[in-house]
Structure 1
Amino acid sequence: MGRVTSLDDLPLRDDLRGLTPYGAPQAPLPVALNVNENTHPVPEEVAGQIADEISRALREINRYPDREFTELREGFADYLGHGLDASQIWAGNGSNEVLQHILQAFGGPGRTAFGFAPTYSMYPLLAQGTGASWKAGHREADYTITPDDAAAQVEAADPDVIMLCTPNNPTGTPMGLDVIEAVYEASRGVVIVDEAYQEFAPHDAPSALTLLEGRPRLAVSRTMSKAFAFAGARVGYLAADPAFIDALRLVRLPYHLSALTQAAAMAALRHAPTMLRMVDEIVEQRDRISATLEALDYTPHESWANFVLFGGVADPKAVWQGLYDKGVLIRDVGIPGHLRVSAGTESETTAFLEALASLGDAPSVGSKA
């Protein structure tokens, strides 16, 4: 039997040919600040409680889990507030799976998904993976967008699914509720507001959750990966009209959330104040990064997330490699003249800033952008 050595030897879908899978560099470096993880570990007092709940779930692991993950949905509704109840909550193995469910239900072959670029790089991949086409809109030079411009672009694209990331990845840019309202009114499809980084926004920043009432085509997505330091647990969720949730049931796999995942997430939610107390420290390090980058003659963009996108980088690949060689991993997101760094612990942030300063790129050969 001949050995298959290439994708070209397989009957792959034509629309997947030439694509590459999503992936950020993984390397065993001392300081990894490239994928917007929460670099603070789960607090010790909570880790023990989570382990106990997982241990209890193991005693019944021979049985299928609660297919409707009712207790977890109630926990998310209570955490989000805004008068939500379990009928308005959905969850999956990371917010990417939740977004995939949406595209399976409302996208698919012959349909279009849309977002304002640059934005989360998984959106077009999820669209393509479910058979939908991807259309990219544009932002202003500072990555903001006005309600009128947003509405005009949506009307022109006429998409079936609209992805709005706020605070936006990879730029950190917030999006006003007026923009979301304008997009919703201008569209006929579903509108997804991805608030993966909402907990890092100012405490008085309004959430799109306040817009759900009376908007059955609107959904607000969240994740436990970032603020809850739960990236390895893979838990994402959303809030929407109950009918929207019913649509997602049509495409989910049976028992898609394991009993262990449900147990771990519930334990973390029961200790939400403790789990979230590192958020203020991360925001402090994020703002420290921005201030120091500016002092080094780089151009940090306003960020409401747990990372900073900065411009004024004359040679992003060389700077990335220089930091790598010094044991610091950050992200080249493909925006000319820019790099992105996650806010880490105080010591990790110091290591990044000192390594960057030692390269001496921006003041002499860089230019503000």
Structure 2
Amino acid sequence: MMKFPGYSLISSFTPFHCIILKKQRRLSALDLSFNNPTKSRRTLSVCATKQQLHNINTQIEMGGQQYRPPLFSVAPMMEWTDTHYRTVARIISKHAWLYTEMLAAETIVYQQENLDRFLAFPSEQHPIVLQIGGNNLDNIAKATQLANAYGYDEINLNCGCPSAKVAGHGCFGVRLMLDPKFVGEAMSVIAANTDVPVSVKCRIGVDDHDSYNELCDFIYKVSSLSPTKHFVIHSRKALLNGISPADNRRIPPLKYEYYYALLRDFPDLRFTINGGIDCVDEVNAALREGAHGVMVGRAAFNNLWSTLAHVDSAVYGVPNSGLTRRKVLEQYQVYGDAVLGTYGNNRPNIRELIKG
């Protein structure tokens, strides 16, 4: 492991969860601070400059399209963030970045005759990120090539899933953090087979490999060996001793100080924070502390309306659209009527469209 004697945790940092507004309070006035990711040194100031405000409202170009920056994104969640969920999420928020469920590279390769079922999505779901998983470079390359036709805006490699099926028997997901050289090679393969940006979603460590120096080693090697400039950091380590994925989202403590130290120590990279953030007030608190972007997971599914309805106005500063829950249901009904049974054998069915 490469040593980073100059890297240390931020000892004076006050975690943003200690200063967030209480959830019961009304959303505060627009909070639009955003640090320039190429800035030579990071400060954890809560003061937003005019240039930072401009950066938030400046659209970025990806794949020939222009979108607002990924200040807010919905996490990839197996069996949750399917195309039906993403459709209703996009009805509510026009600017949140959406991630697919993790798709194994092998699934994409072996389902070449049935790819629409796994990869197709309505154009309204942009901006959207495809997350893939796997540990075979040939299959990762082929999966990336096959996905190109669908026009995703970014491709993300899963290096954070702790489930026994993925990290255990499958030997990918968070287990890949133990082999940063391979991850760098995989990211190079993905980048070589697509024209869109690439990114990695990972934890801050695995089992006893949980020091800040080891996290820096992972980030340094992956970004040095590949064009990867964006990392989504789930600020918990993963435990691979048989505990469930749900317990892995609860038992290992959150260490946001690791995330904010990465901002300081890798000023040329972009980092999105994930883990334990479940309302827009907390999203804006993290952005005030200097986060480049914030990813929300279960709250964006379990509390769909209360989480997403304020994203466009409170995070992106877009005037309120006047959308109501009734209008959301009416628009989603139109979608549901159009897709029922389109895959044959009564798939998708009503249960799949309204799960949760």
Does the alignment reach a TM-score above 0.5? no
Structure 1 length normalisation: TM-score?
0.30
Structure 2 length normalisation: TM-score?
0.31
Tell which structure's C-alpha radius of gyration is larger: 1
